[in-house]
Amino acid sequence: MATITAGELRAMGETQTLEFKRSLSLMREGFESLCAMVNSNEARGVVGFGVEPDGTIVGLGATNLDSAQQSLANHATQKFDPRLQPTIQAFQCEGLPVLVMSAARARGTPYHEYDGRAFIRVGSVTRQLQLTEKQQLSLSRNRDTHNGPWRCDKCGAFAGMVSSVAITAAGPRKVYTHSCGGEWWPAT
Ligand SMILES: [Zn+2]
């Protein structure tokens, strides 16, 4: 098993994108936090199991890490919609076993729901998204309905609106490619 120091573990995320859970009995809360972090603008999150919220390594005791990894992966497959498959890694940290799960939201996905509910992170607090907020995210993160401003994912250029429109058999289509080879995405 790979080893990791407590400092390296903390460096895997920042306040907005990292949360620790003391044990796997808090799996559900861990997944809700992961859901909230990927739904935030950072679009990624890391949850460490076997670590106190203050970063103290407590380990996962005699847990069978292989089967725990598998059950976390299966749980994610069943509960996230759209599908979100976290990477789940086992480490030895300060001589104790910990599990780290990390995931990122694809930019074309406005938000993920976990077990029928969407969560969001505000500061270090995880809360449920209201229907109007979900509708707002669907609009603001949807390239076809977004009116700008836009930012290129390659060169970082800003644009007020997407100026390229291609005429296709299905009608006019916005074009999202920038001359640098990057793509325009909502800059929010
Ligand atoms: Zn560009």
Q: How many residues does the chain have?
A: 188
Q: Where are the domains of the chain?
A: 2-137, 143-186
Task: Give me ligand 1 centre to Cα 104, in Å.
Answer: 22
Task: Give me ligand 1 centre to Cα 41, in Å.
Answer: 20
Task: Give me ligand 1 centre to Cα 136, in Å.
Answer: 26
What pLDDT digit, counting tens, does each position of 102-142 carry? 999 998 899 999 999 999 988 778 999 999 999 989 888 88
HSE-CB for 10 with a 13 A CA cutoff: 10
Question: What kind of architecture, by CATH, is found in domain 2-137?
Answer: 2-Layer Sandwich (3.30)
- Residue 166's pLDDT is 75
Q: Is the peptide bond before 82 cis (omega within 30 degrees of 0)?
A: yes
